Chains A and B, each alone.
Chain A
Amino acid sequence: MINEVRKAYNQAIFDTDKILAMRIVHDALDRGLSPEDIVFKVVVPSIEYMSTSFGQDFGASLAQHFMTAQIAALVTDEMLSKFTSPPEIVGKIVIGTSQGDFHGLGKKIVIGCLKAQMIESVDLGLNVSPEKFVDEAIEHNAQIIGISSMMLHTARGENGCLKVRQILKERNLADKIKIIVGGAPYRYNHDLYKLVQADAWAENGIDAGLVLKKLLEEIKQ
Chain B
Amino acid sequence: MITGFDRLMAAANGEKSDRIPVFCNLLDQGAKELGLSLKEYYSKGEYVAEGQLKMREKYGYDNLWSLFYVGKEAELLGCKNIIYANDGPPTIGHMVFRKPEDIHNMVIPDDISNHPEFQETLKCLQILKKESGDKYPICAYITASMAMPAMLMGMEKWMDMLLSGPFDLRDKLLAMTSDFFKKQLVAYRKAGADIIIYSNPFGSPYFVSAKLFNELSMPWMEKDLQGVDRFGLVYYCGGARMNQVLNQVIEKLGFATFYLSPFDDIAQGKQLIAGRALCAGVINDIKLIDWTYDEIKAEVKRMLDAGMKGGKFFFGTLVMPLYIPEKNIRYMLEAVYEYGSYA
* A residues apposed to B, CB below 8 Å: 14-16, 18-19, 55, 57-58, 60-64, 66-67, 70, 100-105, 108, 151-154, 156-157, 184-185, 188-189, 191-192, 195
**B262 and A152: CB pair below 8 A?**
no
A66 engages B244 (CB within 8 Å): no
Contact B163 A16 (CB under 8 A): yes
Smallest CB gap from A190: residue in B: B287
Contacting residue for B209 out of A64, A156, A191, A195, CB 8 A: A64
* Interface status of B155 (Cβ within 8 A of chain A): yes
Q: Is the CB of A153 within 8 A of B323?
A: yes
B208 within 8 A of A: yes
A16/B209 contact (C-beta < 8 A), A105-B159, A157-B87 known: yes
Chain B residue with Cβ nearest A126: B154
Which of A102, A104, A105, A189 is within 8 Å of B92, CB to CB? A102
- A and B contact pairs by CB, cutoff 8 A, 23 listed: A15-B209, A16-B209, A55-B206, A57-B205, A58-B205, A58-B213, A61-B206, A63-B163, A66-B159, A102-B91, A108-B156, A151-B89, A152-B286, A153-B85, A154-B85, A157-B87, A184-B239, A185-B286, A188-B284, A188-B287, A189-B284, A189-B290, A191-B290
Measured between alpha carbons, how far is A64 from B210 in the docked complex, in Å? 11
Partner of A151, one of B88, B159, B206: B88
Further 4 A-B residue pairs, CB within 8 A, beyond A15-B209, A108-B156, A191-B290: A61-B205, A105-B155, A153-B322, A185-B286
Using Cβ atoms and an 8 Å threshold, which residues of chain B touch A152? 88, 286, 289, 321, 323
Size class of the contact patch on chain B? 35 or more
Are B205's CB and A188's CB within 8 A? no
Question: What CA separation (Å) do A104 and B158 show in the bound complex?
Answer: 11
8 Å CB contacts to A: which residues of B97-121? Answer: none
Chain B residues with CB under 8 A of A58: 205, 209-210, 213, 244
Q: How far is the CA of A33 from the CA of B265 in the complex (A)?
A: 46
CB-defined contacts of B212 to chain A, threshold 8 Å: 16, 61, 63
A105 and B156 in contact, given A61-B208, A100-B91 (Cβ under 8 angstroms): yes
Q: List the 6 closest A-B pairs by CB distance, nearest first.
A: A153-B88, A188-B286, A152-B321, A105-B155, A58-B210, A153-B87
* Interface pair A62/B207, CB less than 8 Å apart: yes
CA distance A83 to B325 in the complex (A): 56
Residue of A nearest to B164 (CB): A18
Q: Which one of B85, B88, B91, B211 contacts A15 once the chains associate, using CB atoms below 8 Å?
A: B211
0/1 per residue, B288-309, Cβ < 8 Å to A? 0110000000000000000000
Q: How far apart are A95's CB and chain B's nearest CB, in angstroms?
A: 14
- Asked if residues B321 and A63 are in contact (CB atoms below 8 Å), the reply is no
Interface string of B154-168 (1 = CB under 8 A from A): 111001101110000
Taking the nearest CB of chain A, how far is it from the CB of B74, in angstroms?
12
Q: Report A-chain residues with C-beta under 8 Å of the C-beta of B93.
A: 102
Cβ of A67 to closest chain B Cβ, rounded Å:
6
Residues of A within 8 A of B286 (CB): 152, 185, 188-189, 192
Question: Known contacts being A63-B163, A100-B83, is A154 close to B88, with CB within 8 Å?
Answer: yes
| Known contacts A63-B212, A152-B286; A100/B85 CB under 8 A | yes
A14 to B321, CA, bound (A): 35
Residues of A within 8 A of B262 (CB): 188
Contact with A along B140-172 (1 / 0, CB 8 A): 000000000000001110011011100000000
Residues of B within 8 A of A189 (CB): 284, 286-287, 289-290
Contact present for A63 and B159 (CB under 8 Å): yes
Q: Which residues of A contact B156 (CB under 8 A)?
A: 104-105, 108
The answer to whether B88 and A100 have CB atoms under 8 Å apart is: yes
Complex alpha-carbon distance, A108 and B156, angstroms: 8
Instruction: Tell me the bound Cα distance from A188 to B291 in angstroms.
Output: 13
Which residue of chain A lies nearest to B162 when distances are taken between CB atoms in the complex? A63
Identify which of residues 35-78 in chain B touch chain A, using a CB-to-CB cut-off of 8 Å: none
* C-alpha spacing A184/B211, complex, angstroms: 24
* Minimum CB distance partner of B89 in chain A: A151
CB-defined contacts of B88 to chain A, threshold 8 Å: 100, 151-154, 157
Please name all residues of chain B whose beta carbon is closer than 8 Å to the beta carbon of A63 when the two chains form the complex: 159, 162-163, 207-209, 212
Contact A103 B155 (CB under 8 A): yes
Query: Which parts of B168-196 form the interface with A (CB within 8 Å)?
Result: none
Minimum Cβ distance to chain A for residue B244 (Å) = 6
Question: A154: nearest residue on chain B (CB-CB)?
Answer: B88
